[in-house]
Amino acid sequence: MTQPTVLIVDDESAFCELCAMWLTKAGYQVETCGDGASAEAIFQSRQIDLVLHDLALPPSFRPEDGIALLPRYQDRPVIVITGHDDKPLAMQAIEAGAWDFIGKPVDPELLLVVLERALIKRRLTQEVERLQQNQSGSDDHLGLIGNSQAMADTRELIRRIAPTDVPVLIQGPSGTGKEVIANALHKHSLRQDGPFISVHCGAIPGELLESELFGYKRGAFTGADKDRKGLLAMAHQGTLFLDEIGEMPLNMQVKLLRVLQEGTYYPVGSREMESINFRLVSATNRILPEAIEQGIFRDDLYYRIKGLTLTTLPLKDRPSDIPVLIRYFLENIQQDGKTLPLDADAMHWFCHQPWPGNVRELRNILESAAAICLGQTITLQEIQLITGQGTSDKTTLLTGNESLDQQVSRLEIQLIKQALAQFQGNKTSAAEHLGLTRQGLLKKIQRYGIVTA
């Protein structure tokens, strides 16, 4: 979790330094300044979570002028510092939007308690806003983002078939949102209060798939030291989503067919038949009729699971959905609590890519871009650093062998080295260029072990 950042606004530098020491030890990042203009500049250029604010600031030192500054901090909790424990003044500040107040001399333990309460309030407010945003749009787009005719047709079909119990087969390339459609079918079905159990048939080894689906009894095989409930039982009265069903081994296809036909199954190692009731939704990126001709998929199972068929299109065939998806993902990806838009060149780049990995690839690049963005807008240069397009050495940030954190760290090292070289080792100038404080840059240099002159 990102360390919360506190902005301390007080013209007494010794007080700022003392509070910064307390808060840094407690795990906060700290920004300090001594007047309202500097506070506003820092607030606009940094991600600030909490504000600790004196009211008597230069040039006027009038508390009412300090109170007038409070609305500038928008929805951030502001804790007002009162020099003489002036409660009437503090109450005026609270009426103007302050979250709480604390008097000088400040008790460090009390300060930490007040800040923690304010931080909890900030996080709860963010979560409520997120839930309200999700709820407000849930009935309109069913969780399927896009304004193309293909997406509109898919949403309409989901509304019609979701209330039925007919099996649904979702076909389409990987990364086109098949599980999102399955979730929408469940949430708008008569089984919406039941469980939604998702199983990726290609991710579970064939020899383990039976015990995962059907469960097992103690002693059924080596290592089965207790009874275990299977995924079929967990899906009872709900929806079972079998993703990439085309990868299911033939022997398991036979057993699944019996479950679908009879509504019963035997846990591994058991002679007692158990009944089950669920709605089946399947998905595949294979063309199942071709798989049947190849002898790797049973035709009787195919006709059992394809009660109704939904087809998802690759992203390249619905380009009008790309800007809508970008805005949606960036609002949800939020870096340090703020939404980072694309600049015009970056948006143009996104809208003119073939997207072989479809929506999943698009989101992955957006997440990486937001993570390494240094300014207020994601630029084409940052996209090119991630993908390797347009760079001289064609080095790509995204790899299959590194986590996102590892990739971001590698790019941070590269950017820091470039900035230090550009400014001949001047750390203050390099930090300003990178959008960091000098202290923040020094911490990164130390963390990554970057050798400087």
Peptide bond into 354 cis (omega under 30): no
- Provide the CATH number for the domain around residue 125: 3.40.50.2300
Three-state DSSP at 80 gives strand
Tens of pLDDT, residues 338-374: 678 888 888 989 988 999 999 999 999 998 888 888 7
Same domain, 366 and 388: yes
Same domain, 40 and 178: no
Same domain, 182 and 68: no
Same domain, 326 and 411: yes
Q: Residue 137 falls within a domain, yes or no?
A: no
Same domain, 112 and 213: no
Same domain, 155 and 251: yes
Residue 2 has pLDDT above 80, yes or no: no
Same domain, 322 and 403: yes
Q: Residue 166 falls within a domain, yes or no?
A: yes
Three-state DSSP at 332 gives helix
Distances (CA, A) of 176 to 102, 181, 325, 360: 53, 10, 12, 7
Where do we find the tokens 């409930």? 229
Q: Residue 237 falls within a domain, yes or no?
A: yes
Nearest-angstrom CA–CA distance, 245 and 202: 8
Same domain, 298 and 172: yes
Same domain, 298 and 331: no
Q: Residue 138 falls within a domain, yes or no?
A: no
For residue 1, name the pLDDT band (cuts at 50, 70, 90).
Answer: very low
Is the separation of the CB atoms in 104 and 82 below 8 Å?
yes
Question: Of 258, 282, 313, which residue is a domain's last?
Answer: 313
Same domain, 274 and 309: yes
Domain residue limits at 83: 5-132
> 78-82 and 100-103 as β-strands: parallel, antiparallel, unpaired?
parallel
Q: Residue 151 falls within a domain, yes or no?
A: yes
Residue 269, φ and ψ in degrees, nearest 5: 85, 10
Residue 131 has pLDDT above 60, yes or no: no
Same domain, 344 and 282: no
Residue 158 has pLDDT above 60, yes or no: yes
- Provide the CATH number for the domain around residue 154: 3.40.50.300
Burial class (CB in 10 A: 0-12, 13-18, 19+), 212: middle
> 239-243 and 50-54 as β-strands: parallel, antiparallel, unpaired?
unpaired
Tens of pLDDT, residues 169-185: 999 999 999 999 999 99
pLDDT at position 250, please?
A: 94
For residue 122, name the pLDDT band (cuts at 50, 70, 90).
Answer: confident
Nearest-angstrom CA–CA distance, 195 and 294: 35
Same domain, 148 and 279: yes
In this structure, the dihedral spanned by the alpha carbons of residues 232, 237, 242 and 245, taken in order and rounded to 10 degrees, is 80
Q: Residue 380 falls within a domain, yes or no?
A: yes
Tens of pLDDT, residues 275-298: 999 999 999 999 999 999 999 999
What's the number of domains the chain is made of? 3
